[in-house]
Amino acid sequence: MRFAEHEGQRIEAKRSVPAICPACKRRVIAKCGSIKVPHWAHAARIHCDLWWEPETSWHRQWKTFFPANAQEVVHTDSSTGEKHIADVKTANGMVIEFQNSPISQSEIKSREKFYGKMMWIVNGMSFKNDFSILSKMPNPRSDFGKRFFLFSERWRGMRPPEPDYGIYDHDLRSGAALSKELERHFIGHFKYKWKRNRRHWLSATKPVPRFRRRISLVVAGIRGPGTPVREACA
């Protein structure tokens, strides 16, 4: 954990400073070595959150894109009392989970059900050479997008017929008109090709945005440190 509680305040890891976990309120100790990033660890060596994973510099770097009070927020299910520490939870309730370690399909489903309003940021460096971003796709929730994907489904694995490019619509006969309509409904979705895909991520029901740069989130609108997530995704 990056933050723990000390005398009612959230603080980062400091040697010899007593602190408690914000979720379970048990004692934590500061780990400030030269190899791992400074962090707090439970004194009992058992983390209270079953979804916890060791924090790396990759996690820490992503968290710095958000205000400190949005990082490591305790999310509680009011009906069951179940608690988990969200990597980031924005002011309007969007939870963002940064996933670096392998994760099972069942845990993906559990987190999505628990948080509800959430999105994933996945470290795809291990399979980047197997993943290709292809052409733009329309918003699948728009009427245009629904017709587009419905037609494309019939042509899976084959090149769509010209000039419709994956949609049959008597009002859109020319490729130019279709391209213009696609641009109007484009909000960040792309057609992709994924060799040796991680099938558990294909089952995710929450957004798993793609990246254009090593640490630049296109779909969520993040362009640099201090830039907020845009309302459309928040």
Q: What pLDDT was estimated at residue 43?
A: 87
Q: Are residues 88 and 165 in the same domain?
A: no
pLDDT at 132: 79
Per the structure, the count of domains in the chain is: 3
Give a yes or no: residue 215 inside a domain.
yes
Q: Is the separation of the CB atoms in 133 and 124 below 8 Å?
A: no
Q: What is the reported pLDDT for 117? A: 93
Rounded to a whole number, what is the distance in angstroms from the first to the last CA of the chain?
A: 24
pLDDT of residue 155: 37
Query: Same structural domain for residues 89 and 41?
Result: no
* Residue 159 falls inside a structural domain: yes
pLDDT of residue 120: 93
Q: Is residue 220 part of a domain?
A: yes
Do residues 62 and 98 lie in contact, with contact meaning Cβ atoms separated by under 8 Å?
A: yes
Residues 7 and 112 reside in one and the same domain: no
Based on the fold, state whether residues 12 and 104 are members of the same structural domain: no
Does 67 reside within a domain? yes
* 112 shares its domain with 31: no
Find out whether 168 and 151 touch, Cβ atoms under 8 Å. yes
The answer to whether residue 133 sits within a structural domain is no
pTM: 0.65
Could you tell me if 179 and 149 lie in one domain? Answer: yes
Distance CA(76)–CA(189), nearest Å, equals 32
Based on the fold, state whether residues 119 and 168 are members of the same structural domain. no
3-state DSSP assignment of residue 84: strand
Residues 28 and 4: beta-carbon distance below 8 Å: yes
In a domain, 109, yes or no: yes
Structural domain that includes position 106: 56-127+193-234
Q: Are 76 and 156 within one domain?
A: no
Nearest residue to 152 via CA among 108, 189, 184: 189
Name the strands in the sheet holding 9-12, side by side, starting at the edge strand that comes first in the sequence: 9-12, 3-6, 19-20, 27-31, 39-42
Say whether both 29 and 121 belong to one domain: no
Sole residue written with tokens 């090593």: 214
Beta carbons within 8 Å of 211's beta carbon, 6+ residues apart: 124, 217, 218
Please tell me whether residues 17 and 61 are part of one structural domain.
Answer: no
132, part of any domain:
no
Helix boundaries (H) for the chain: 57-63, 105-115, 143-153, 175-184, 199-202
Residue by residue, pLDDT tens for the chain (234 residues) are 889 999 989 998 888 899 999 888 989 999 888 777 888 888 877 778 888 887 888 888 899 899 999 999 999 998 999 999 999 999 999 999 999 888 899 999 999 999 999 999 988 777 777 877 788 888 888 888 877 765 444 433 334 444 334 444 444 445 677 788 888 988 888 777 777 777 788 788 888 875 433 333 323 333 333 333 332 222
Return the structure tokens found at 158.
């084959």
Let me know if residue 83 belongs to a domain.
Answer: yes
